[in-house]
Amino acid sequence: MTDRGVRSDPSWWRQAVVYQVYPRSFADANGDGVGDLPGVLSRVDHLVSLGVDAVWFSPFYPSALSDGGYDVDDYRDVDPTIGTLDDFDAVVAALHAHGIRVIIDIVPNHSSDRHVRFQEALAAGPGSPARDRYIFRDGQGVAGELPPNDWRSFFGGPAWTRLPDGQWYLHLFTPHQPDWNWDHPDVAEDFLRTLRFWGDRGVDGFRVDVAMCLAKDLREPYAAWEVVSANLPRPIGAGGPSRFPDGAHPLLDRAELDTIYASWRQVFDSYDPPLFAVGETWVEPHRLARYSDPRGLGQAFNFDFLWNPWEATRFREVIRDSLALAQTAGTSTTWVLSNHDLVRHATRYAPSPLAPDQRLTAAVPIGPEAREQGLRRATAATMLALALPGSAYLYQGEELGLHEVTDIPAASVQDPQARLVDGVLITRDGCRVPLPWTTSGPSFGFGDAEAHLPQPEWFGAVSVQTQTASDTSTLALYRRALQLRHELQCGEELTWLDLGADVVGFRRPNGWVSVTNFGASPTALPPGEVRLTNVDLVDGLLPADASAWLVPVATTDARTS
């Protein structure tokens, strides 16, 4: 067990910088090519020098890795390739000792097909009480040879898999991820136990995987997939307003979720200070408040922000709407630009032959100029996000300005969602390639062995070691930005500044000003002392694809006198 010294402030998360660690690709201490918890322990200094407030760990549970660990065999243990529960305690203790909170991923929509409950259900056979914990149905057709309905999994292929005994089970993701039946009291009770297990172990909060999915309507007659899928929010579906009344879509965002998360809230609030939770919520913006309500999970990912093309108008709209929604719900919003499911934002913002809508999930090789422009826009966007009120979520490697790795050989692909679309390989592996820590050496300091996903040659030049030696590196910029954000952090309001159509500018209550130039020509900055830019000013003007932070000159005088 770890001490709770850092957990004294109940609202620590409202404006926290949360750094996402994808454990298998962060650092490998035992030289088996896969990242592990001792590896994280050996790199705590990196997280400290970066200045993050919390670390969110993607799943580290025992898993066959059919979906990168989001296929959980046991919710209350650590995968042996990643470490042990003792290693977990040691990581929590080390982070807490530096005032860094710990958030872990919880995956409540589905388990893995190796989970003891699923294995029990298989063994117990059709019609047994053990099968009620998951979603088993008889098939259609003369001998039940057809699936119960035509629903598809989010990763492609049917959402139903047939067993040798003839029954079918539902899985919204891979066939190795059977969906739990959340109408079953054992399922609900077991997750409460899991929350308490980790709460007692010292974690500060949870990131809730596909938080909008758990409850389902499996009553017959089933809605046709054409109708179900036409009403999924982006990027799972096409987006746009749902034809189902709010809370009545058969697969997601259902009204019953309120009861589930209210029971989780009771567990969260039984700790002092309460545990934190953020939902992975691909829902229409007007539904976000259901999850972020303080009586529910408390915070919800606002993914509209990362969906933005590089356009000032769109950024302004999304920021305004997100802040208003969060305020209505009595919470703070989130700003996410990259995570383990999406093309890294340095690549997304680069000029590319792909249509803007494709860039979140697909990447193609781009030339050096495009890479440079993408990175410049990415750091400008990061500074903008970090200056906004709310929590900022960073994904491991973005502090190095990493681009998506676009040349993963077909034989190395791990992502079950990987597919070729019009000759373009779509895979989430490109953002999950193990981090480069050193300029050279086996797996660039990730570990002693070859990394589990191949690292490209250019990783050495962007490694932590290379960038630490430079004052002008992306890493140096992130460190300065996080430090300054801490210094300047203040109340959760902003005042918009009118600096032209292509410029997003705002002032925080203490006078901290952030300006981002989305246009092609340099723009004048408002009065103030410039404290940080992602690229140098040109003749005192903010160039294209750049951000600047300013503080009032009077504040500066007071600070230095």
Name the phi and psi angles at 49, rounded to 5.
-70, -25
Q: Does 304 bind ligand NOJ (CB under 6 A)?
A: no
Interface with ligand NOJ, residue 204, by CB under 6 A: no
Its sign, for the CA torsion 56, 61, 64, 70, is: negative
Instruction: Tell me the C-alpha distance between 73 and 86, whole Å.
Output: 19
Which tokens belong to 540? 């005192």
Place of tokens 């050496």: 441
Chosen residue from 28, 36, 53, 67 binding ligand NOJ by CB under 6 A: 67
Question: Cβ 68 to ligand NOJ, closest distance in Å?
Answer: 6
Region binding ligand NOJ by CB under 6 A among candidate stretches 66-74, 159-167, 198-206, 290-298: 66-74
66: amino acid identity, one letter: S
**Using the rule CB under 6 A, is 318 a contact of ligand NOJ?**
no
Buried b vs exposed e over 313-338: b needs ≥16 C-beta within 10 Å?
Answer: ebbbebbebbbebbeebebbbbbbbb
Smallest gap from residue 14 Cβ to ligand NOJ (A): 23
The least distance separating ligand NOJ from the CB of residue 209, rounded to whole angstroms, comes to 5
428 vs 507, which CB is nearer to ligand NOJ? 428
Which span (36-44, 65-73, 159-167, 342-350) binds ligand NOJ, by CB under 6 A? 65-73
Among 27, 94, 187, 210, binds ligand NOJ (CB under 6 A): 210
Contact flag: residue 306 with ligand NOJ (CB under 6 A): no
Interface of this chain with ligand NOJ, residues 331 to 350, rule: CB under 6 A: 340-341
Site membership for ligand NOJ, residue 107 (CB under 6 A): yes
Q: Does 179 engage in binding with ligand NOJ (CB under 6 A)?
A: no
Structure tokens at 70: 């989001």
Structure tokens, 338: 């990259």
- Binding flag, residue 72, ligand NOJ (CB under 6 A): no
Contact status: 209 vs ligand NOJ (CB under 6 A): yes
Look-up of token digits 């053990």? 130
Residue 92 lies near ligand NOJ (rule: CB under 6 A): no
> Residue 303's closest CA among 320, 323, 318?
318
User: Which segment (62-70, 222-230, 255-263, 393-401) binds ligand NOJ by CB under 6 A?
Assistant: 62-70
3-state secondary structure of 62: coil
Number of residues that bind ligand NOJ (CB under 6 A): 10
Interface pick for ligand NOJ out of 12, 56, 173, 206 (rule CB under 6 A): 173
Q: Does 56 bind ligand NOJ (CB under 6 A)?
A: no
527: preceding bond cis by omega (within 30 degrees): no
Contacts 24+ apart (CB under 8 A), 452-455: 452/24, 452/25, 452/33, 452/34, 452/414, 453/25, 453/405, 453/408, 453/412, 453/414, 453/429, 454/408, 454/409, 454/412, 455/405
Closer residue to ligand NOJ (CB): 404 or 492: 404
- The residues in 263-282 that bind ligand NOJ, with binding defined as CB under 6 A, are 280
Q: Alpha helix locations (H) across 406-518? A: 464-468, 474-488
The footprint of ligand NOJ (CB under 6 A) covers 67-68, 70, 107, 173, 209-210, 280, 340-341
